[in-house]
Amino acid sequence: MKKMASSEGKAIMGRNIKRLLKQHGLTAAKLAGILGVSTATISDWSNGKTYPRIDKIEAMADYFAVSKSELVEDPQTVKPEVASDEPVLMAAHWGLDISGLPDDERHRVIDRAKAYVEGLIADYEDRHAD
């Protein structure tokens, strides 16, 4: 899979969020409440300024009942035969394509990456607690 530029990935995600909000008749404020973030954060995501954390992408995908790839990829280029969107999500975040790995190895890599990132976030939050 081609590694997308960070700004391109943010723009694609933003367009997808705007499209899903419109399709579901949902306001940015309502989505912010559902996800536990500020309306400004939703605005930043929708305008391609920032990129959501993995847990927020997963929460949006669950809420909108779409695959994570439908949030992070250009809908014109999403291949319907993709069996799992986890490699797509990994590629969007870190420029990695692990789709060629066997399922068990792919899941092991994803689980370790998530645990590592969650540890970094927890460490950051601990160091910057009020």
Domain range list for the chain: 4-72, 86-127
Q: What is the pLDDT of residue 1?
A: 39
CATH topology of domain 4-72: 434 Repressor (Amino-terminal Domain) (1.10.260)
- Report, as an integer, the average pLDDT of 75-92: 56
Asked whether the predicted pLDDT for residue 39 surpasses 90, the reply is yes
Q: What is the pLDDT of residue 45?
A: 93
Number of residues written out for the chain = 130
Q: What is the pLDDT of residue 5?
A: 43
pTM of the predicted model as reported, rounded to 2 decimal places: 0.57
